Amino acid sequence: MAGLCGANSPTCQLSIGYAKPPGYHIELARQLRDVRNHGVLALGSGNMVHNLRALSFGDRPYDRAEEFDQRVARMISEGDDAGVVNFLPLNYALGLRSERDVIEHFN
């Protein structure tokens, strides 16, 4: 597995078709799950809660934002895909995960 994430790794960006319902995206990701067995790295990124207009580095997050973030993290950890199905592009990360994956939350 050395070099899996190196400069020579194939990369493909998935676009989100917003005309499709949220469940479509998680099912599509589940169909793509097997590519992970062929050395393909799946990477998802983004924040669940942010208001860039109100962003001020060093300030504490709003309580409601922290509560929402914790609720979403709990649903992900518990495997409650139905509870988070409306959050794109999170659906792809959820659909691509396997039973043996370790879920980590940060930031």
Write out the residue range of the structural domain in which residue 73 sits.
22-46+60-96
Count Cβ atoms within 10 A of the Cβ of residue 34 and give its class: 0-12 exposed, 13-18 middle, 19 or more buried. Answer: exposed
H helices of the chain, in order, are: 22-32, 63-77, 81-84, 90-96
pLDDT of amino acid 35: 86
Task: Work out the number of other CB atoms within 10 angstroms of the CB of residue 71.
Answer: 13
Nearest Cα to Cα of residue 92 among 42, 36, 46: 42
pLDDT digit string, tens, across residues 62-87? 888 889 989 999 999 898 989 988 88
* Residue 26 domain flag: yes
Position 6 in a domain: no
Question: Total structural domains in the chain?
Answer: 1
User: What value does the mean pLDDT of the chain take?
Assistant: 81
From CA 23, how far away is CA 20, in angstroms rounded?
8
Does any domain span residue 1?
A: no
Does a structural domain hold residue 52?
no
pLDDT at 51 over 60: yes
